[in-house]
Amino acid sequence: MPTQEQARNLALRLHGLSGGTAILRKAAARELARYDPLDANELIDHLITLARSGWEPATHILSAFVAALGMEAAQIPYAEELRRLAQIQSLPTVADLFAEGPARQQLNAGAAAKADAQVFTQSLGHLKQQARLTRDPDVLSRLVTVSNPAVVRNALLNPRLTEPLVVRMAARRPARPEPLVEIWKSSRWSARHAVRRALVFNPYLPPEVGSKIVPLLNATDLAELASDTSVHPSLREQATRLLAQGPLGG
């Protein structure tokens, strides 16, 4: 079983890794794949504990590890076993990372597509290209309301997109889950605290994604989330457990 000291050494090593968010996430997936599933759960538990204590290297890499569990699961041979084993190991904060089920609120896919069609008459290909390339902030503001995830994915790459607009996208209600997941997958935007907060408090976000954001929140956000009855119950319970471990930041 990995010790907390080994987790510290790993955090220090990856903290110094050059490259962007995606590179760090893939490195985290490779590290998890090196361990057997029981040890991988222990490692994640140590990293959560270190991050909640406020140790900066752990807070930096924790986001990469929790994101890897979702975005790089194909690179982790036993990813689907981790939740069951974490429950057996009595590691609830690790088991919490694998929440399942539908979002607290849901927007019918047909209704969303109909709403898009009433506002946008261009082809999907045109909308995707426009979302990525437009220089007009008003056009971009309209395009980010599209429910099609491919359009949103391209809008997130637009260099003229601003954090306030992404926060509005992440907080939009009602919403389909797919555009919200695209925001979470965006290396450029998912590291922003305001974006994470908007996503996790959105009742239309699938809990499997929300559960990987909750450990990255600070104590103030966790306390608010724990008492927010509009979000998925599993996220409230997760926030309550993490609060007991102490703050991550202010």
pLDDT in tens, 128-146: 999 999 999 999 999 999 9
Q: Do 62 and 129 lie in a common domain?
A: no
Asked, for residue 217, whether it belongs to a domain, the answer is no
pLDDT at 248: 57
Asked, for residue 19, whether it belongs to a domain, the answer is yes
pLDDT at 198: 98
DSSP 167-233: HHHHH-SS--HHHHHHHHH-TTTTT-HHHHHHHHT-TTS-HHHHHHHGGGS-HHHHHHHHT-TTS-H
Asked, for residue 133, whether it belongs to a domain, the answer is yes
Q: Do 85 and 134 lie in a common domain?
A: no
Counting Cα atoms < 13 Å in the Cβ hemisphere of 107 gives: 21
pLDDT at 245: 79
Q: Do 125 and 70 lie in a common domain?
A: no
Q: How many Cβ atoms from other residues are within 10 Å of residue 112's Cβ?
A: 18
Q: Do 82 and 163 lie in a common domain?
A: no
pLDDT band at 18; cut points 50, 70, 90: confident
Q: Do 115 and 78 lie in a common domain?
A: no
Q: Taking 50 as the threshold, does the pLDDT of residue 180 lie above it?
A: yes
pLDDT band at 147; cut points 50, 70, 90: very high
Q: Do 16 and 59 lie in a common domain?
A: yes
Helix 163-171 × helix 177-185 angle, to 10°: 140
Asked, for residue 128, whether it belongs to a domain, the answer is yes
Domains of the chain: total: 2
pLDDT at 246: 66
Q: Taking 80 as the threshold, does the pLDDT of residue 44 lie above it?
A: yes
Run of H or E including 12: helix 4-15
- For residue 159, what is the DSSP state? T
Q: Do 131 and 177 lie in a common domain?
A: yes
Q: Which domain covers residue 85, as residue numbers? A: 4-98
Asked, for residue 226, whether it belongs to a domain, the answer is no
- Of 98, 126, 156, the one marking the end of a domain is 98
Sign of the torsion angle spanned by Cα atoms 181, 213, 102, 176: negative
Q: Do 75 and 149 lie in a common domain?
A: no
pLDDT at 197: 98
pLDDT in tens, 58-90: 999 999 999 999 999 999 999 989 999 999 999
Q: Taking 50 as the threshold, does the pLDDT of residue 153 lie above it?
A: yes
Q: Do 138 and 92 lie in a common domain?
A: no
User: Could you check whether the bond before residue 137 is cis, i.e. omega within 30 degrees of 0?
Assistant: no
- Of 98, 121, 137, the one marking the end of a domain is 98
pLDDT at 131: 96
pLDDT in tens, 205-244: 999 999 999 999 999 999 999 999 999 999 999 999 999 8
Q: How many Cβ atoms from other residues are within 10 Å of residue 71's Cβ?
A: 20
**Exposure string over 205-218, b if 16+ CB within 10 A, otherwise e:** bbbbbbbbbbbbbe
Give the C-alpha separation, 245 to 54, whole Å: 11
- Comparing C-alpha atoms, which of 169, 167, 161 is closest to residue 135? 161
Write the burial class of residue 103 (CB in 10 Å: 0-12 exposed, 13-18 middle, 19+ buried): buried
- Of 64, 98, 132, the one marking the end of a domain is 98
pLDDT at 250: 46
Confirm whether pTM is higher than 0.85.
Answer: yes
Q: Do 93 and 115 lie in a common domain?
A: no
Give the C-alpha separation, 130 to 158, whole Å: 9
Asked, for residue 66, whether it belongs to a domain, the answer is yes
Q: Taking 90 as the threshold, does the pLDDT of residue 16 lie above it?
A: no
How is residue 90 written in tokens?
């009595």
Q: Do 20 and 50 lie in a common domain?
A: yes
Asked, for residue 215, whether it belongs to a domain, the answer is no
Asked, for residue 193, whether it belongs to a domain, the answer is yes
Sign of the torsion angle spanned by Cα atoms 76, 48, 226, 205: negative
pLDDT at 19: 80
pLDDT band at 247; cut points 50, 70, 90: low
**Residue with structure tokens 């450990």?**
215
**Mean pLDDT taken over the chain:** 94
Q: Do 63 and 135 lie in a common domain?
A: no
Give the C-alpha separation, 134 to 159, whole Å: 9
